Amino acid sequence: MDREVALQTVKVQLTDHRYQHTIGVMETAIVLAKRYGVDVKQAELAAIFHDYAKFRPKDEMKQIIIDQGMEQLLLEFNSELWHAPVGAFLVEKEVGLKDEEILAAIRYHTSGRIGMSLLDKIIYLADYIEPGRRFPGVDEVRNLAKDNLNQALIQALKNSIQFLMKKNQPVYPDTIYTYNDLVKLGRID
């Protein structure tokens, strides 16, 4: 799919602010893909569509999670997590994108997963560090991403987990599993 067609397709699904975020994620994903040897076109498309379902009604997302047999545990956690797996489903169904690597990167960009692919990591990080993001710890992750994708991802996950814990919010298990998986990988490397 051509970049401009993809951008026009996603633009109608997003607010202006979220569309600008998406542009930032796309540009960041392209830089990271080039740096780490990942297919730039896949990174570009995954970034463009990563928030495709962000503004769907919660009732619609909940029903899709149930109807499609997605992980029901999602429904017990913050609905902010829902748009990622629902988005992957809708991008395939409504847009016709069939590339499973791109769909997986969309599906796991909020939670992570054990055994993340390079593309998964790039989309997760691009979403976290795009230039419009301003919060404590983001600059450290940006700097780490220049040299070590796994260390950047570990720090991003650590920041997110600590943020949720400070607010007394539960942490989705896949996020903890992702963190543990990457820390263990770091000990092996």
Output the domain CATH number for residue 62.
1.10.3210.10
On whether residue 115 sits in a domain, the answer given is yes
Q: Are 126 and 28 in contact (CB under 8 A)?
A: yes
pLDDT of 126 reads 98
Euclidean distance between CA atoms 185 and 49, whole angstroms: 29
On whether residue 146 sits in a domain, the answer given is no
- Note down pLDDT in tens along the chain; length 189 residues: 999 999 999 999 999 999 999 999 999 999 999 999 999 999 999 999 999 999 999 999 999 999 999 999 999 999 999 999 999 999 999 999 999 999 999 999 999 999 999 999 999 999 999 999 999 999 999 999 999 999 999 999 999 999 999 999 999 999 999 999 999 987 654
pLDDT of 188 reads 55
Q: Which residue pairs, CB below 8 angstroms and at least 24 apart, start in 119-123?
A: 119/33, 119/38, 119/39, 119/42, 119/43, 119/46, 121/149, 121/150, 121/153, 122/29, 122/32, 122/33, 122/36, 122/38, 122/43, 122/46, 122/149, 123/25, 123/29, 123/43, 123/46, 123/47, 123/50
pLDDT of 62 reads 97
On whether residue 154 sits in a domain, the answer given is no
On whether residue 142 sits in a domain, the answer given is no
On whether residue 165 sits in a domain, the answer given is no
On whether residue 64 sits in a domain, the answer given is yes
The total number of structural domains in the chain stands at 1
Question: Which of 164, 117, 160, 118 is closest to 138 using CA atoms?
Answer: 160
Owning domain of residue 59 = 3-134
